[in-house]
């Protein structure tokens, strides 16, 4: 991205899940969304969103091709935002059960952490984002059970973080793309992308 005023090109990993809703949210937040299914589609992107879905299914797809390694190096050098299963894929450690992850976020996350009755719910949280309480849609959500010292908590549920930021990495255990009347979370990510110096990606 050459100028602050330009719309950043933000990829949305489009393997599974509601990537189209993320693309809409990005378009409404001043970015140009780009669907990503192949390693070469990461080229020329300023940032990436990894949506929710089923992290085990996403992992299988990523590990089948060259995408897992390419994605990891992209996430080590660019702003990235993971929601729900996407947050699971970014964490340094996954529990219930343990599984591989990209390890770019200093957090331990537990999959499917809420009982059957409340595994899908809508709650409101105080938030450090401006504009009052934040609506959070949880769907078979994970729970962040440990965070490192550099992690900033932006919203929470029952005292556990639900929206966090560590440098240029953001993660949410809920689905901000499903609250179309409130784009503050995607806007915060687009602002983060705009404030991050752009990187010329090395193409191998
Ligand atoms: N339960 C899913 C997993 O463990 C995450 C659910 C979601 O992304 N909505 O991967």
What pLDDT shows up at residue 6? Answer: 85
77 vs 169: CA distance, rounded Å: 10
Under the banding of pLDDT at 50, 70 and 90, the label for residue 204 is: very low
The catalytically annotated residue of 84, 110, 156, 186 is 84
- Substitution candidate for ligand 1 out of 17, 22, 50, 54 with most atoms within 8 A of CB: 54
Domain ranges of the chain: 4-195
Q: Based on the residue annotation, tell me whether 54 is a catalytic residue of this protein.
A: no
Q: Is the pLDDT of residue 138 over 60?
A: yes
Widest distance between CA atoms in the chain: 48
Q: Is the pLDDT of residue 162 over 60?
A: yes
CA of 203 to the centre of ligand 1 (A): 32
What pLDDT shows up at residue 115? Answer: 76
Whose C-alpha lies nearest to ligand 1, atom 2?
54
- Enumerate the H helices of 95-149 as residue ranges: none
Beta strands (DSSP E) in 126-192 are 134-139, 143-147, 152-157, 160-166, 169-172
Distances in whole angstroms, Cα of residue 54 to Cα of each of 116, 123, 190, 203: 16, 22, 25, 30
Q: Based on the residue annotation, tell me whether 156 is a catalytic residue of this protein.
A: no
What pLDDT shows up at residue 203? Answer: 40
What pLDDT shows up at residue 1? Answer: 52
Q: What is the mean pLDDT of residues 71-86?
A: 97
CA of 107 to the centre of ligand 1 (A): 16
CA of 181 to the centre of ligand 1 (A): 23
4-195 is classed CATH 3.40.50.880: yes
Average pLDDT over the chain, rounded to an integer: 93
pLDDT above 90 as % of the chain? 87
């Amino acid at each position: 991205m050459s100028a602050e005023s330009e719309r950043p090109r933000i990829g949305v990993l489009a393997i599974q899940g509601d990537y189209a809703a993320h693309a809409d949210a990005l378009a409404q937040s001043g970015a140009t969304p780009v669907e990503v299914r192949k390693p070469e589609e990461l080229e020329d992107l300023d940032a990436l969103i990894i949506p929710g879905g089923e992290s085990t299914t996403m992992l299988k797809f990523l590990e089948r091709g060259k995408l897992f390694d390419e994605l990891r190096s992209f996430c080590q050098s660019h702003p990235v935002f993971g929601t729900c299963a996407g947050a699971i894929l970014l964490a340094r450690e996954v529990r219930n059960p343990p599984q591989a992850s990209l390890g770019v976020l200093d957090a331990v996350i537990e999959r499917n952490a809420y009982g059957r009755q409340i595994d899908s719910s809508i709650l409101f949280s105080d938030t450090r984002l401006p504009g009052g309480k934040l609506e959070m849609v949880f769907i078979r959500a994970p729970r962040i059970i440990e965070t490192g010292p550099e992690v900033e908590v932006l919203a929470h549920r029952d005292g556990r973080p639900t929206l966090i930021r560590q440098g240029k990495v953001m993660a949410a255990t809920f689905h901000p793309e499903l609250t179309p009347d409130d784009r503050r979370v995607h806007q915060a990510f687009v602002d983060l992308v705009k404030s991050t110096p752009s990187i010329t990606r090395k193409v191998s």
